[in-house]
Amino acid sequence: KIYRASTTAPVNIAVIKYWGKRDPTLNLPTNSSLSVTLSQSDLRTHTTASCSSTYRKETPEDSLLLNGKLEPLTTPRSIACLRSLRALRSELESTNPSLPKLSTYPLRLASSNNFPTAAGLASSAAGFAALVRAIADLYELPQSPTELSLIARQGSGSACRSLLGGYVAWDKGSRDDGTDSCARLVAPKSHWPEMRALILVASAEQKSVSSTAGMQTTVKTSGLFRQRVEAVPQRMLEMEKAIREKDFEAFAEITRKESNSFHATCLDTDPPIFYMNETSKMAIRAVEAINKEAGRTVATYTFDAGPNCVIYYLEKDWDFLAAKLDLALDGKEGWSKERTSDAGGLGV
């Protein structure tokens, strides 16, 4: 008999960034962070997990088929996730001996993204969140999304936020074992249904430093980083308030300042890390000009560890924003013409 479960997990884009680890093995962060979960119809990872006693004879190792390519599940991060999930299943099996001993069977995972992995969008977050959710479903684990976020965090820090929808905080926690470093729902998507995200894909491919490596170097070498760690707790409070009160003006201001502070810290790293390029700066200038012309805040921007721009705006402003962005960016070298979404698309 083959046991099987399938699931999808969405991408999340941080408006308060996770950058820096106090424990690189457990992925415990130096500051709390907050993200908006994007709509699953646009950007998501689909994962199927299966296990069977017959797999033992065929392929005794756990395996992962990622976008059609066979990958071993031997990285310490994957091993940590599988070990924690198996331990929870084995607890269930010991209290209920009639359950099949799934925890002892090899696992086979098949995972695919519905967006180009090469576009440099946050794929590890959706990837590890889907892996954890699929295996938790396969094992019929009773744990809540917040409890499962502790496991996803060990796969990739930002993945812990993709187990919940809407506006999600990752509280840094203070315990050494990380048991209080997990995701928390700030507000469901339905709280602020007018919020939209638009991703501008910078077509100029550039090789960038991985988040994992980049943040380690920042922690070691950047003086600005220490200031940032002190400033983020206040920013978290302000951001949660802006979301609670659906105050787009405040949300937008904190989001752009936070993105710029994060990239300044990257630049202050030795050797410096450049995630934004000239194309990215063009998007920033366009958004600043659009807000100026409107005489109010129509849109805000944020960039992760790459040149792509994520714009947040409210549904009612789509026509104005789209027209002005077309004028500002279309035909300019560096931007791929097609955007990943339109107004009806990338809701959050």
Binding segment for ligand DP6 (CB under 6 A), chosen from 11-19, 246-254, 283-291, 319-327, is 11-19
Q: Which own/partner pairs from 233-238 qualify as long-range (CB within 8 Å, at least 24 positions apart)?
A: 233/31, 233/32, 235/16, 236/16, 236/31, 236/32, 236/33, 236/34, 236/169
Q: Is 305 in the site for ligand DP6 (CB under 6 A)?
A: yes
Q: Is 260 in the site for ligand DP6 (CB under 6 A)?
A: no
Binding segment for ligand DP6 (CB under 6 A), chosen from 139-147, 153-161, 225-233, 288-296, is 153-161
In the complex, what is the shortest distance from the CB of residue 29 to ligand DP6, in angstroms, rounded to a whole number? 8
In the bound state with ligand DP6, the residue whose beta carbon lies nearer, of 139 and 251, is 251
Q: Is 269 in the site for ligand DP6 (CB under 6 A)?
A: no
Q: How far is CA 83 from CA 16, 74, 104, 137, in A?
A: 30, 12, 11, 15
* Residue 104, CB-side half-sphere exposure with 13 Å CA sphere: 8
Q: How far is CA 15 from CA 36, 102, 257, 275, in A?
A: 7, 39, 10, 16
How much helix, strand and coil, in percent to the nearest 5, is found in the chain?
A: 45, 20, 35
Q: Is 181 in the site for ligand DP6 (CB under 6 A)?
A: no
Candidate list 7, 17, 163, 252; residue touching ligand DP6; CB under 6 A: 17
- Locate 125 and state its tokens: 């977050």
Backbone angles phi, psi at 52, to 5 degrees: -160, 150
Interface map 115-144 toward ligand DP6 (x if CB under 6 A): -------x-x--------------------
In the complex, what is the shortest distance from the CB of residue 159 to ligand DP6, in angstroms, rounded to a whole number? 7
# residues near ligand DP6 by CB under 6 A: 15
Which residues are at the interface with ligand DP6 (CB under 6 A)?
14, 17-19, 27, 33, 122, 124, 156-158, 211-212, 304-305
